[in-house]
Amino acid sequence: MSEIRPARARVFAFNLGSFKAAALLDAADIRDNLASAFAAGQPAAAVRDLAAANFIDPDRYEHCFIPTLIDTGSQKILFDTGCGEEDSSLLGCLQDLGLGPDDIDVVVITHGHPDHIGGLVRNGEPVFNRARHVFGAAEFAFWTQGDAVRPARLANRDLFRLICTGLAERATFIVPGDEVVPGIIAVDAAGHSPGLLAFLVENSGQRLLIWSDAFLHYAVSIQHPEWHADFDDDKEQAVETRKRLLKMAAEQRLLIAGHHMPFPGLGYVERANGSFRWIPVGYQLNI
């Protein structure tokens, strides 16, 4: 008998008012070292206790990569382009929706890390050739002009310059508070990267916060926003951003799209036990 492998969807489509939206599973890794990745410097026992309380493995974890697509009816907007590797499934996800790269009107890059910019270019040519590209002004300047890149990110800097510099002529550069298109506003989420942007999408009274990489794990980062993640470039700023966005999400009862949350990466945040807890979507978006 052949091995039975778990089947999983790679597209989750839903409505947001009159907007159409979809979470697109570009890739998913199984990784080790939960504590060093998301709880650097914390006692091993504290991380094991947190894992046990959440019914997850104390060491191994799944790391998803989930770009978001918003269709306003007049424009199709893709938030991030995934890893861009051979096993990246972003274009396949779009194909499942009956779309190709030339159907995308706007590509928004939340920040310049490889798993977000990797799908921008293939064989030296822009993948989304018809699209307007949107970058955070601070993020673009950091990678292309700044000299403050930490050693662990030097290869990232070189990749960003290789991929993104040539897209500047077709790009719009924005800051927090700017509108991408009507109904989509940029929100400051800096810390994980120097100019990380989140995006608040609103239509017909329905609201979605695309928080990208402000949170990297659905249990650790949300229940302990003060713990440092190895992947964060400015760890203290990332902590302050997490606390601010958690308060915002809980108080405003926002639907969340998280790039690295468990697929489909959609959920809500509630206050719990003096902190916060992730509540994954159930059937709310189906009815």
Given this model, what pLDDT does residue 4 score?
A: 56
Asked, for residue 232, whether it belongs to a domain, the answer is yes
pLDDT-based confidence at 237, cuts 50/70/90?
Answer: very high
What CATH number is given to the structural domain containing 71? 3.60.15.10
Cα atoms in the Cβ-side hemisphere of radius 13 Å centred on 271:
7
- 103 burial (CB, 10 Å; 0-12 / 13-18 / 19+) is middle
The CA-atom distances, in angstroms, between 94 and each of 50, 104, 228, 233, 266 are 36, 10, 34, 31, 18
Asked, for residue 240, whether it belongs to a domain, the answer is yes
Residue 3 has pLDDT above 60, yes or no: no
What are 106-137's pLDDT values in tens digits?
Answer: 999 999 999 999 999 999 999 999 999 999 99
What are 138-166's pLDDT values in tens digits?
Answer: 999 999 987 788 898 999 999 999 999 99
Q: Which helix (H) or strand (E) holds 50?
A: helix 44-53
Q: What is the mean pLDDT of residues 52-71?
A: 98
Coil, strand or helix: which one is 21? strand
Asked, for residue 2, whether it belongs to a domain, the answer is no
Asked, for residue 1, whether it belongs to a domain, the answer is no
Given this model, what pLDDT does residue 114 score?
A: 96
Asked, for residue 6, whether it belongs to a domain, the answer is no
The range of the structural domain enclosing residue 133 comes to 11-286
Mean pLDDT of the residues in the chain? 95
Amino acid type, 234: D
Given this model, what pLDDT does residue 32 score?
A: 97
Given this model, what pLDDT does residue 8 score?
A: 81
Given this model, what pLDDT does residue 7 score?
A: 67
What are 98-108's pLDDT values in tens digits?
Answer: 999 999 999 99
What's the number of domains the chain is made of?
Answer: 1
Given this model, what pLDDT does residue 1 score?
A: 44
Q: What is the mean pLDDT of residues 29-54?
A: 97
Q: What is the mean pLDDT of residues 229-242?
A: 97
Residue 233 has pLDDT above 90, yes or no: yes
Asked, for residue 143, whether it belongs to a domain, the answer is yes
Given this model, what pLDDT does residue 201 score?
A: 98
